[in-house]
A and B are shown apart, each in its own frame.
Chain A
Amino acid sequence: DQQVKQNSPSLSVQEGRISILNCDYTNSMFDYFLWYKKYPAEGPTFLISISSIKDKNEDGRFTVFLNKSAKHLSLHIVPSQPGDSAVYFCAASARTGANNLFFGTGTRLTVIP
């Protein structure tokens, strides 16, 4: 049973516009959330994270928003650039138990020049 879900397999955005990637989770014990970016033939690389004590975290063009009541988070990329074209994975972990990361199914972002 997928505890972290990304319901949009793909997204296309024009260069310079905003990209919004969404993620939902079901486990209320999750308290830390991360976004990873993956290029073809490479491993995922860490992009940005947020703790459950916050509702927003910003790093340059990337902002992650967390809505705990809705069990929803989103990644905003502004402005989008062609180099942002990749697969984005949402991940979550809980401090209790093994503290492993659970990943979503990924969203393929294509930024059109």
Chain B
Amino acid sequence: DAGITQSPRHKVTETGTPVTLRCHQTENHRYMYWYRQDPGHGLRLIHYSYGVKDTDKGEVSDGYSVSRSKTEDFLLTLESATSSQTSVYFCAISENGGNYGYTFGSGTRLTVV
């Protein structure tokens, strides 16, 4: 599906534990993004990357970190998971940024208990 995969698709974790979500692309796109989707909030940007080792914060970055050591992989880490981070997480890729649209992965449903 446009060469973007997210893993895992579903995860249940305990409060206080670290969690890492993975996004992998085969399109060689420069830009990668992590969004979370919550009822009443739509899609909100957590972090994004504009190249290898180049990342920046989005609207809701507190409690999250990211890393991009290779063009194809963008990792999202919840340093110490909280119940408020229960959400559906989407990764997206773009060749040239927002004006050219994004391609989204299928999402990861994360539940923090």
Contacts and interface: CB of A to CB of B under 8 A. Distances in A.
Contacts of B48: 98, 100
The A contact surface, by secondary structure, is loop
Contact of B98 (A2, A43, A101, A104): A101
Contact of A46 (B45, B58, B99, B103): B103
Interface stretch (B11-19, B35-43, B63-71, B72-80): B35-43
B107 A42 contact: yes
Interface residues of A, number: 28
A93 B56 contact: no
A100 B48 CA distance: 9
Interface in A42-69: 42-46, 49
Interface of B: 1, 33, 35, 40-45, 48, 50, 56, 58, 90, 92, 97-99, 101-107
Interface of A: 2, 4, 6, 31-32, 34, 36, 41-46, 49, 89, 91, 93-95, 98-106
